[in-house]
Amino acid sequence: MKKELKILILEDNPFDAELIKRELRKTNKEFESRVVQDEENFRKELETFRPDLILSDYAMPQFTGLDALEIVKKKCPEIPFIIVTGSLNEETAVKCMRWGAWDYVLKDKLVHLGHAVENAIKLKMKIYRKWKKVSRHYLARERSLMLNTESKEKMVSGFGHVM
């Protein structure tokens, strides 16, 4: 059974939020989404909804996509963050990527959204698998060192009783 993808959409325009959801439905992926329009609700949904992916408008009146990205970088950097915006010049796009956005999609090219989401989820899973592998290796190494240390301690304590 496939897990339903949880997507948090930060968008101040309800019409644009619906367009984004409509485009996501075209991907035939099971998903649940929540739409927020401000910082307070964004922070709340990060904690309660625990999204797998965040789609954020870049330019909003009180709370920008970069503001949201900064919060995500501090609280949950493992969550893919994709900027979805009406217009973005090359300089701003580069800035978003440098700040930690995983990708960006222009609203007049929403047909690319499904591909961006798919790539972000694949990359997240690849990073997770690598992290898991490194963690297993680290734990096995730590366990081996502990056993080796215990063995040496027993041997040293045994030598103390010989005399």
Which domains can be identified in the chain, with CATH numbers?
5-128 (3.40.50.2300)
Q: Determine which helix (DSSP H) or strand (DSSP E) holds 6, and give its type and residue range.
A: strand 5-10
Q: Measured on CA atoms in the order 108, 6, 102, 27, is the torsion positive or negative?
A: negative
For the segment 114-158, what is each residue's pLDDT rounded down to a tens digit? 999 998 888 887 876 776 666 666 666 777 666 666 666 666 666
For the segment 55-90, what is each residue's pLDDT rounded down to a tens digit? 999 988 889 999 999 999 999 988 999 999 887 777
pLDDT surpasses 60 at 163 = no
- Taking all residues of the chain, what is their mean pLDDT, rounded to a whole number? 84
Cα separations in angstroms, 88 against 34, 65, 161: 24, 12, 76
Helix, strand, coil tally for the chain in percent (to 5): 60, 15, 25
- Is 55 in a helix, a strand, or coil? strand
31-44: burial string, b at 16+ Cβ within 10 Å, e else = eebbbbbebeebee
Q: What percent of the chain has pLDDT over 90?
A: 48
Residue 43, amino acid: R
